[in-house]
Amino acid sequence: MEYMSGGTLSDEIRRRGGRLDESLIKLYTYQILQGLDYLHGKGLAHCDIKSQNILVGEEGVKIADLGCAKLVRRVDWIEDEDLYEWDAASKISGTPAFMAPEVARGEQQGVEADVWALGCTIIEMATGGGPWPELNDPASALYHIGYRNCLPELPSWLSEEGKDFLSMCLKRDSKERWTAKELVGHRFVQVLESHLGQYEAQKTSPSGVLDRDLWDLLELSESNSSSSNEEVQLDVSFLSSAAKERIKVLIGSGDTFSCLPCTPDWGWSSDDNDDWFTVRSNDFEEDPVLDSTTSTSFDSIFHEQGEIVYPHYLMKCRLIIIILLNLLVQILVVKQVLL
């Protein structure tokens, strides 16, 4: 598995002070679109696009966490429009704050919902918050998104091209939403195509945290071999010490981490099963602490707890109860006024 040194896109947003510059938003959006276009071309809907499921590396970003992904069947080819209509699977899954209106209503969840979620993720990159910051209750949010004719507020500081791009993503009618393939050609990200190759050529992405020195060594071997026909004998004794130095940097060897040993104990004991430790977990009980700046935000509730999965009937029952409660409140208010 490739090593993505930047963590999640959510981590990157926090590192950069709560929002990203538009140039970086363009780059990340373009790369997410490329990933979505590939998935959708294979008949897959991701169903949970958000900053927590986008990983940041030296070459940009990549889509991760396909735990909610589903295969959707292509049911009808529209020749004039050069696209497929999709048969969305019946089970609804994902993070409620990023759900499209048709998903919140429990109707369908196809590739169009990924485009809506991308729009919500762009808002997250631009503001540091979720698309619905005023909502903090999951059930109310599903009702708000699904049944009220409203849209997330667009970041005011974005360029007109950026706002237009978002408006193409955030269409309440899924049939009016642009596809990932269409959005790749939008002028908001189109300018990147001529520069992206040069950007990627300047970057390298190791597949592990310790292998860069080995790559450098292999490059040296190739250059030496091309200039001489003699067999090159390479001294690799320094690799172990280089690996230790990289581990020290990763675990922290300064005063802040003075309570930690400089290097872990790599000794293997067949009698002891306690040598293993958890690096990261999505289990809420193991890591219950959420970021304080988003602890009251509806979307943050689901970032570390995992995604919810609702069958259609359960989703509709919850929404019917909410609608009935709203009607009851309105009746009581009218009755109180009349009295």
Q: Which residues participate in catalysis according to the annotation? A: 48
CA 59, 64, 65 angle in degrees (round to 5)? 165
90's CB contacts (< 8 A; 6+ apart) are 311, 312
Whole-number Cα distances in Å, 218 to 59, 202, 211, 214, 235? 21, 18, 11, 6, 11
Whole-number Cα distances in Å, 317 to 24, 88, 106, 123? 42, 20, 10, 30
Helix (H, G, I), strand (E, B) or coil at 143: helix
Helix (H, G, I), strand (E, B) or coil at 87: strand
Helix (H, G, I), strand (E, B) or coil at 175: helix
CA distance 163 to 96: 23
- Residue 14 · residue 114 · CB < 8 Å: no
